[in-house]
Amino acid sequence: MEQSVFPKYTKAWLPYAAPAAAPSTPEEAARAELDNGLAHYGFARPVSLKTESLGEGYRIDASAEEIVIYGQGAGMLYGAFYLLRKIALGQEIVSETQQPEYALRMLNHWDNMDGTVERGYAGRSLFFEGSRFHYDPERLRFYGRLLSSVGINTITLNNVNVHPPAQHLIDDLLPEVVKIADLLRPYGIRLLLTVDFAAPTYNGLATADPLDETVIQWWKDRTAAIYQVIPDLAGFVVKADSEFRPGPITYGRNQAEGANVLARALKPFGGTLVWRCFVYNCRQDWRDQKTDRPCAAYNTFMPLDGQFDDNVLLQIKNGPVDFQVREPVSPLLLTLEKSNRALELQLAQEYTGQQIDLYYMQEMWQEIFDVLPRGNISAICSVTNLGRDENWAGHDLAMANLYAYGRLCWNPDCLKDDMAREWTQLTFGRNCAAVDEIARMLHSSRKTYQKYNAPLGIGFMVEPHVHYGPNPEGYEYSLWGTYMRADRNAIGIDRTAAGTGFTAQYPADLQKLYEDKSTCPEEMLLFFHRVPYDYVMEDGRTMVQRIYDDHFEGAEEAQALLESWKKLENQLPADVFARVLAKLEKQVVNARNWRDITNTYFHRYSGAEDAKGRVIYP
């Protein structure tokens, strides 16, 4: 592995010098960060570190003369990073105690060992190339600092779709995994291993049936062997019975029977079994009007509530379909009572602009937490948006999402803060003249993207497989259960009691809200209802006119983002300016495509003319 082949990388929001030596403990790391950080920010007051057992939390004792951070292990490091952030932001340093809301604050890499990243838009894998481990240790340490600085404490390395040879990360390739675990441990980061449910069959067993004694023993033995070399492993992640992945259903068992076998193997070591709930029929026939994909996870998992062991964590995507621009919160997150739940988000902008379009996620998460009672989940996970690109996330401004995500995992109260502004100040300097404008751009970005994309919660009007770019009927006759059934009169699936009955999966108040067109939030109107084009919206516009208006406005707003950015040329580093400029120029072109194709599509079906007489191509 030659050092020279690794690309350079930006410092993201950690502008001061990285510690010269690799730390061997979080406490050592904390001291090194403070030494370099305080000097960089010209902070004169002495800061000392004192050991106190506060779990992952920390306590800051601030006086006019000195500051003491109390903590232990990662907690001490989190305290150091927190203090440095407050200094960088020019915030007042007060005595306070912080504890994370969630013990598991996770990032999932969907990296493949061939170096590609599934749904990755930031270059190739940080870990793999050519079917083997291939990484820049210095960069991985920097990566550890980045994650630790915002409180993320758990990562998976490999894709939930376990492609060869990644199934061997738990056996033959384990020594290489150990090296990564060792490298990241001083930053308080633990590994989760993404495993293949059929792993026993790759190791000589005739079956992976979770009730088979040899299978149960195999998982026990293998897990023990792994903990021998990675004693602080966080556990396993499994995508089972989902999109062609093997799982318990393959062997005639249910999800709980499958999950519990792995959970019991992990139990003696304090490990967690993270079990994804993304289970649905991905070979649906569009002619089948009864099966409704959003119903699938609830139908599969609700009957099993109470049957999962206490170290099973059910990882549930925020919406009931698949990371669309606008979805309601997954009912499973609201209704499971006896199972541990993790909220799964996606920083990787699969359906949300692929790190070409600006799409800041704080407002989206706010909508989720507006609905999700605070105690409902015990962990948060996200698919990462990082790769080997120089700027980590492909789009420089997409790093704001990683920053805000870390803060969210630590404590969702952060949603009250202007994290876009924080990130901008940390990245470009507190007094950078571009701060206000960048923060404003970030905060407006989701609404803009949503306007020129699939309208009013309809979803999946995208190029198949790629998941970017407008293709209104791209998924209409597919096997993926993603239909909208537009005709000359109406569009959408009726998911109320009169239709597929999906609304019944929600608690009574939400069910009532979504059930009725007049109370359903308009952004989700076409998610829940089949609606005629001439349906009159709350403000008096017809539904189709609202779609036209949104798309014209969205494309204009994309143009405005570009114009705003152009004014920042002299206020930002030239390379950052140029990279983001190139992205925004693409966004403008793509937004126009979205506008024109979507408007034409609805015009062809509805025959409705635009009330303002703007150009809709025939």
Which 8-state DSSP code applies to residue 506? S
Report the residue from 246, 459, 470, 481 that binds its own copies according to the rule CB under 8 A. Answer: 470
Q: Which of 16, 286, 369, 535 binds its own copies (CB under 8 A)?
A: 286
Under the binding rule (CB under 8 A), the answer on residue 467 touching its own copies is no
Which of 486, 524, 580, 591 lies at the binding interface for its own copies (CB under 8 A)?
Answer: 486
Q: Which is nearer to its own copies, 272 or 590 (CB)?
A: 590
51: enclosing H helix or E strand: strand 47-51
591 binds its own copies (CB under 8 A): no
- Quick check: 385 and 355 in contact, CB under 8 A? yes
What residue has token string 């493949």? 112
Near its own copies in 296-355, by CB under 8 A: none
Name the residue nearer to its own copies (CB basis): 355 or 606. 606
425/439 Cα distance (integer angstroms): 9
Q: Between 416 and 488, whose beta carbon lies closer to its own copies?
A: 488
Beta bridge partners of 275: 238, 314
| Binding piece for its own copies, criterion CB under 8 A, among 1-9, 119-127, 270-278, 469-477 | 469-477
Q: Exposed, middle or buried, 576 (CB in 10 Å: 0-12/13-18/19+)?
A: middle
Q: Work out the burial of residue 508: count CB atoms within 10 Å of its CB; fewer than 13 is exposed, 13-18 middle, 19 or more buried.
A: exposed
499 binds its own copies (CB under 8 A): no
How many Cα atoms within 13 Å fall on the side-chain side of residue 162? 24
> Smallest distance, Å, CB 481 to its own copies?
15
Residue 242 CA, chain-centre distance (Å), reads 19
Lateral strand order in the sheet of 96-98: 47-51, 67-71, 58-62, 96-98
Residue 2 catalytic?
no
Question: Near its own copies by CB under 8 A, which window of 74-82, 306-314, 320-328, 470-478?
Answer: 470-478
Shortest Å distance, C-beta 598 to its own copies: 10
- Minimum distance between the CB of residue 229 and its own copies, rounded to whole angstroms? 39
**Which span sits near its own copies by CB under 8 A: 142-150, 211-219, 471-479, 504-512?**
471-479
With H, G, I as helix, E, B as strand and everything else as coil, classify residue 226. Answer: helix
CA angle centred on 125, ends 120 and 131, rounded to 5° = 120
Q: Given candidates 221, 413, 487, 569, which one binds its own copies under the rule CB under 8 A? A: 487
- Residue 259 buriedness (CB in 10 A; 0-12 / 13-18 / 19+): buried
Told to check if 586 binds its own copies by CB under 8 A, we report no
62 or 484: CB nearest its own copies:
484
Stretch that binds its own copies, among 138-146, 337-345, 467-475, 570-578 (CB under 8 A): 467-475
Task: Point out which span in 284-292, 296-304, 320-328, 510-518 binds its own copies (CB under 8 A).
Answer: 284-292
609 is a contact residue toward its own copies (CB under 8 A) = no
**DSSP secondary structure code for residue 608 in this structure:** P
Which window, 142-150, 320-328, 378-386, 486-494, contacts its own copies (CB under 8 A)? 486-494
Q: Quick one: which of 564, 606, 578, 300 has its CA closest to 444?
A: 564
CA distance 94 to 63: 8
**Beta carbon nearer to its own copies, 113 or 490:** 490
Nearer to its own copies, 41 or 286 (CB): 286
Cβ-based neighbour number of residue 374 at 10 Å: 9
Interface with its own copies, residue 597, by CB under 8 A: yes
| 53 makes contact with its own copies (CB under 8 A) | no
Q: How far is the CB of 469 from its own copies (least distance, A)?
A: 9
Pick between residue 434 and residue 531 the one whose CB is nearest to its own copies: 531
Residue 289 is a binding residue for its own copies (CB under 8 A): yes
Beta carbons within 10 angstroms of residue 541's beta carbon: 15
Question: What are the φ and ψ backbone dihedral angles of 421, each rounded to 5 degrees?
Answer: -65, -45
| Orientation angle between helical segments 26-41 and 137-150, nearest 10 degrees | 80
Q: Do the beta carbons of residue 341 and residue 347 sit within 8 Å?
A: no
Distance between CA atoms of residues 28 and 112, nearest Å:
33
257 binds its own copies (CB under 8 A): no
Determine if 551 is a binding residue for its own copies (CB under 8 A): no
**Cβ proximity to its own copies, 411 vs 600, nearer residue:** 600
Is 322 one of the annotated active-site residues of the chain?
yes
By the rule CB under 8 A, 596 interacts with its own copies = yes
| Residues in Cβ contact with 160 at an 8 Å cutoff, skipping those fewer than 6 apart | 108, 110, 194, 237, 238, 239, 245, 276
Using the minimum distance from each CB to its own copies, give the nearer residue, 221 or 487.
487
- Name the segment binding its own copies (CB under 8 A); options: 67-75, 129-137, 511-519, 597-605: 597-605
Nearest by Cα to 368 from 343, 338, 332, 405 = 343
C-alpha–C-alpha distance, residues 313 and 503, integer Å:
25
Q: Under the rule (CB under 8 A), what is the footprint of its own copies? A: 286-287, 289, 470-473, 477, 485-489, 596-597, 600, 603-607, 617-618
Q: Which residues are catalytic?
A: 243, 322, 350
